[in-house]
Structure 1
Amino acid sequence: MESLYIGTYTDRQSEGIYGVTGDPETGRWSSPALLAKTLSPTYMCWNTDRRVLYAISEEPSEIASQARGKVMSYRRDPETGALTEQSSVTAPGLAFCHLAVDSQSRYLFAVSYREASIQSYRLRPDGSIGDLVCHTVHYGKGVNPERQENAHVHSVWFSPDETRLCICDLGLDRLYWYSVDWSTGRFLYENSLAFPGASGPRHLVFHPNGHFAYVVAELSCQIFALAYTQEGFQILQCLELLDEADPDSTAAAVRITGDGRFVYASTRGQDVLTAFRCGEDGYLTRIAQYPARTAHPRDFQLIHGDAYILCAGRDSDSLAVFQRKADGGLQYEHSIAGLSMPVCILPF
């Protein structure tokens, strides 16, 4: 059985964070149950023991350009899986788009796309969110006048040893890394890696061996294989996500299997998932692209021991389940309906 927490946009029928439980092998899933009523929880993560769930809350699009960022913590009932709001903080700046908590649950890091800021918050022993301890902002612009008129920090990740914060800035076509002082939660700029102009790096995943990383570029619909060392990052390879270029498509999420053999990425517009085989040298070999069977696949997750992929369709109000084949290919199995605008999947 799989227990999944689903974040949604609450612009239409959804009311917050939902839970579904089921078996991807049989296709039997519970009806989505509302676990926490909150405004557009569009990205979520767990603390170390998975007793506390953290979620950002986004204002409706028409006022998001002026709304302050908000992140909340919820206690999870170990028996029922129900969520109870525990704490919330409002940022000094604009709305958040991504967050991460370190493996020892010391600090929460959140980033804002609109103001290109990175912030760290102290976590209390019970997992609740404490004071803001560090705040920095990126400045500048890229070559795409519509999407890169300013810096746009899109995601925050930890290096494998958690000595660094890795930041994808879509607006500046750069991957930044900061050193972290875990005694204070403060972070200090080290260096950055430039990507091709107008590519728009969005999300990142590290290889399990810690020597490679993979970045999806939202604007160019490409995936980059990177080498990673204590000196930083180096681009090894760039591959296309789509069979045919499409200016109306944008890349979204990237995931890697636990054994490090396969990498997957989603693209909105053409609404596809693309599969890659990962070599021992970190280079990728493109396998194929597959219809996502959902509209606007903003997020997806590997589930059930990486045997399946669950893909969230924001505009189709559904989740699509795929079985992974031995060669890394995908086979569509079934869909889960009854959930409005799902955009984030968090396995328990």
Structure 2
Amino acid sequence: MRLLISLFSLLPVITMAQAPKEYRFLVGTYTKAMHVCSFNPATGNISLINTVEGLNNPSFLTISADGQHVYAVSEAGKTEGGVYAFTFEKTSSKLTLLNTQPSGGTSPCHISIDKAGRNAIVSNYGNGSVTVLPILEDGSLGAPVQTIQHTGSGPVEGRQEGPHAHSATFSPDEKQVFVADLGIDKIMVYDYHPENKQAPLTPAAIPFIVTPQGMGPRHFTFHPNGKYAYVVGELRGNVVSYAYENKTLRLLQSVSTSPWASPKFGLADVHISADGDFLYVSDRERQNYLVIFTIDSSNGEIRYFKREPTLGETPRNFLIGPSGKFVLVANQNSDNIVAFKRDTATGLLSRPTNQQFSIKAPVCLQMIP
């Protein structure tokens, strides 16, 4: 009898371990709201859990390493933008606004924070500047302590009349920050000194990397092994690969996202699978595809593999799930998020049947830790 009771007591544990896990993620939008959603990988269903209203274009966002705080830009157009700080209550999935600070520039489009949660770095697209805001003990944001103004221009008329900082990415050891500036065809390189409260960013020994002319560098990411880095060119439809060594980038190659001629590109986001074997890029200008590349981990080089329609318009942002078995895509202009199954061995995506979720103007997806 005692043995039967002991065996029976194990059954709930086994059942729970085998039950499909639901993931929660945040959705930044070009509306007045930010959303908390859940995704069931077994069914592909996406559902809305919670919403915070009264915001102003909370587009790009990031989440603290412990999942307890969320930071989002307020992409307010030609006027000075703002930055929101929220607490996130995991049990209820509730977002509560802590405070708002100015972004130090116009049209902020990207925000990143270090793992220790000491500083937030905001890229101001409109005027091409980078601003550092300290994160206080309660998770709220302090006033900006440093703003660095980029200068220059590029050859593409109407898009490169001046600097347009588009993303700030920490190096794997967080000793450097790389800022892709679409307007000047440069990746600006800064050394990161969080102990310096007034000027955490200083120009690196090699302060910038010049990208191919007219490419418009937008989003930037490191390979999981930390040896390689990749930047997408919004304007020319190419992905540029670099070796990362001695605190600088060495050019490896530039590869087109299309093996045939295209009238116009609009590359947006870039992510690499956790195993380091595949790189994915979204193209939001007419193409409406996710482009898949294979990665040679021995030298960092990429090769065009396939492209998959995103079943919507303007795929500005996407994420690869923690298991690597699904990809969620935010289609801004068709107001939907689409879930794809992902084959972890081949990197290929399979189209869903009913796994689409309607939501107004989704532009950023971030998985909650």
- Band the TM-score falls in, shorter-chain normalisation: over 0.9
Distance 2:163 2:46 in 1: 41
Q: Which residue of 1 aligns with 2:26?
A: 5
Matched, 1:329 2:348: yes
On the 8 A contact 1:214/1:225 being kept in 2, the answer is yes
SS of corresponding position for 2:327: strand
- Root-mean-square deviation (CA, aligned residues, Å) is 1.4
Equivalent of 1:165 in 173, 177, 181: 177
Q: Which residue of 2 aligns with 1:285?
A: 303
What residue identity is the alignment partner of 1:165? V
SS of corresponding position for 2:58: coil
Q: Which residue of 1 aligns with 2:361?
A: 341
Equivalent of 2:61 in 31, 44, 67: 44
Give the TM-score, by structure 1 length: 0.94
Distance 1:123 1:33 in 2: 25
| Aligned-residue offset at 1:193 | 1.1
**Structure 2 unpaired stretches of 5+:** 1-21
- Bigger drift between 186-195 and 210-219 goes to 186-195
Equivalent of 2:214 in 198, 203, 210: 198
Distance 2:39 2:294 in 1: 29
Equivalent of 1:58 in 69, 75, 89: 75
What residue identity is the alignment partner of 1:272? Y
| Aligned-residue offset at 1:38 | 1.1
Q: Which portions of structure 1, spanning 4 or more consecutive aligned residues, are displaced by more than 4 angstroms?
A: none
What residue identity is the alignment partner of 2:202? L
SS of corresponding position for 1:305: coil
Return the index of the structure with the highest Cα Rg: 2
On the 8 A contact 1:271/1:294 being kept in 2, the answer is yes
Distance 2:355 2:266 in 1: 23
Q: Deviations over 1:52-86 (max 9, x none)?
A: 00011122xxxx12x11100101111211110000
What residue identity is the alignment partner of 1:105? G
Equivalent of 2:47 in 27, 30, 39: 30
**Structure 1 unpaired stretches of 5+:** none
What residue identity is the alignment partner of 1:336? Q
Larger strand share, 1 or 2: 1
What residue identity is the alignment partner of 1:163? K
SS of corresponding position for 1:105: coil
Q: Which residue of 2 aligns with 1:245?
A: 261
> Counterparts in 2 of 1:111-126, with a 5 A limit?
111-126=123-138
| Aligned-residue offset at 1:323 | 1.2
Larger helix share, 1 or 2: 2
Query: What's the % identity of the aligned pairs?
Result: 29
| Aligned-residue offset at 1:36 | 4.4
Q: Deviations over 1:17-45 (max 9, x none)?
A: 11211313312332464234411111000
Matched, 1:181 2:193: yes
What residue identity is the alignment partner of 1:47? S
Q: Which residue of 2 aligns with 1:128?
A: 140
Matched, 1:215 2:236: no
Q: Which residue of 1 aligns with 2:97?
A: 85
Give the TM-score, by structure 2 length: 0.89
Q: Which residue of 1 aligns with 2:243?
A: 227
